[in-house]
Amino acid sequence: MTAVTDALRRQEIELPSWAFGNSGTRFKVFSQPGVPRSPEEKIDDAAVVHRLTGVAPSVALHIPWDKVDDYAALSAYAKEQGVRLGAINTNVFQDEDYKLGSVTNPDPRIRRKATDHLLEAVDIMDQTGSRDLKLWFSDGTNYPGQDDIWDRQDRLAAALRETYDRLGEHQRILLEYKLFEPAFYTTDVPDWGTSYAHCLELGPKATVCIDTGHHAPGTNIEFIVAFLLRAGRLGAFDFNSRFYADDDLMVGSADPFQLFRIMNEIVRGDALDPANGIAFMLDQCHNIEAKIPAIIRSVMNVQEATAKALLVDRAALREAQQGGDVLAANAVLMDAYNTDVRPLLAELRIEQGLDPDPIAAYRHSGYAEKITAERADGQQAGWGA
């Protein structure tokens, strides 16, 4: 059991700055009282989540939503709050120029502008000390014949190469894929295979980011996890839940069994420890629920799935697998999944000096009332912008 609790104690989950701001759908952005008005206030909120859960020590930034004059100062500010700055996310999807694409746009001027933004993000990483540059491209086409698929791949490869060559020794690219949306006919990085192929071409500092909401329904995500881990090219997760498309709901809320199966492959591949380089990030929007407790809930859901995956009896599983005992092998996994790990996690929190119930602790903390009073006038740039 100590191996299980040790692993849980070392677990790290990165929070997205944008999850704290207002968000919505294409139909309506709903505003909530007390949302952060600045990158500093997003960091304040993330630090609260970390203080209550003990496992969320870093915050991913999104540029330009989190643009500041002095990133080293922002990094120092985060440190003072007890957290650090994590991945830098780029934004080449919210500009008139990008209607027909960013780095794959047929117009070389627009491609230059988009690539310059990626390079600027690496400059920012130099100042924040971030390791990861997360790239998600909304690029694609809506109609057959609209543009040349092959040429767009060439343009993408050129922009990625330029960006890759700008990386420092300890920096890396996380190349995220998404099946569709906003493009509806072709997407230039639609799946893990495309991302993986570009990463292979680029070199060892390029790895794949799996956003759990970015697949066709029914896709076996844990297979992708196993494949990429084996190939040494899994860099990160963007965790969230979906029922239909890119729903960005709380991770583990729609299909906790899938989250367990993913974490089971992570444990199988010995990839949980932060030292092994996989970034476990959330990428969620809390359109109708209170944001900070929703993020706490998400962190707890990841912890619960992880604890269950750690409880899998690996020796018994291997024995059943090698003996061809299908039912016994499946039973080993199901026994772990069906274990109630909440008492174990509550105990672990008490041992770490935390409240065993982080959501109740948040409700009693008065923080929600405090930010509602203090941030009466604000809406920070983000999905709600």
| Element holding 118 (H helix, E strand) | helix 108-128
Q: Is 191 in the site for Mn ion (CB under 5 A)?
A: no
Count of helices and strands (H, E) across the chain: 14, 12
The least CB distance from residue 235 to ligand PSV, in Å, is 13
Contact positions with Mn ion (CB under 5 A) in 280-299 = 283
Contact of residue 20 among ligand PSV, Mn ion, none (CB under 5-8 Å per partner type): none
Site for ligand PSV in 274-303 (CB under 6 A): 283
Q: Does 247 bind Mn ion (CB under 5 A)?
A: no
Sites for ligand PSV among residues 220-259 (CB under 6 A) = 238, 246
Asked whether position 132 contacts Mn ion by CB under 5 A, the answer is no
* DSSP calls for 11-75: ---EEEGGGGS-EE-SS-EEP-TT--SSHHHHHHHHHHHHHHHS---EEEEETTTT--S-HHHHH
Residue ranges with strand state E in the chain: 14-16, 23-24, 29-30, 58-62, 84-89, 132-135, 140-141, 172-176, 186-187, 206-211, 234-239, 279-282
Longest dimension (CA), the chain: 65
CA dihedral sign of residues 297, 303, 306, 312: negative
Nearer to ligand PSV among residue 243 and residue 325 (C-beta): 243
Q: Which residues pair with 237 in a beta bridge?
A: 210, 280
The residue count for binding Mn ion (CB under 5 A) is: 4
d(CA 117, CA 322): 51
Binds ligand PSV (CB under 6 A): choice among 139, 211, 222, 304: 211
**Residues within window 35-64 making contact with ligand PSV, judged by CB under 6 A:** none
Out of ligand PSV, Mn ion, none, what residue 89 binds, judged by CB under 5 to 8 A for its kind, is: ligand PSV
Task: Give CA 283 to chain center in angstroms.
Answer: 5
Q: Tell the smallest beta-carbon distance from residue 291 to Mn ion (Å).
A: 17
Minimum separation from the CB atom of position 213 to ligand PSV (A)? 7
Among residues 255 and 319, whose Cβ is nearest to ligand PSV?
Answer: 255
| Binder among 238, 309, 349, 382 for Mn ion (CB under 5 A) | 238
| Residue 162 is a binding residue for Mn ion (CB under 5 A) | no
Residues 77-96 that bind ligand PSV (CB under 6 A): 89
65 touches ligand PSV (CB under 6 A): no
Packed helices 291-311 and 342-351: angle between N→C axes, nearest 10 degrees: 110
Where along the sequence are the contacts to Mn ion (CB under 5 A)? Answer: 211, 238, 246, 283
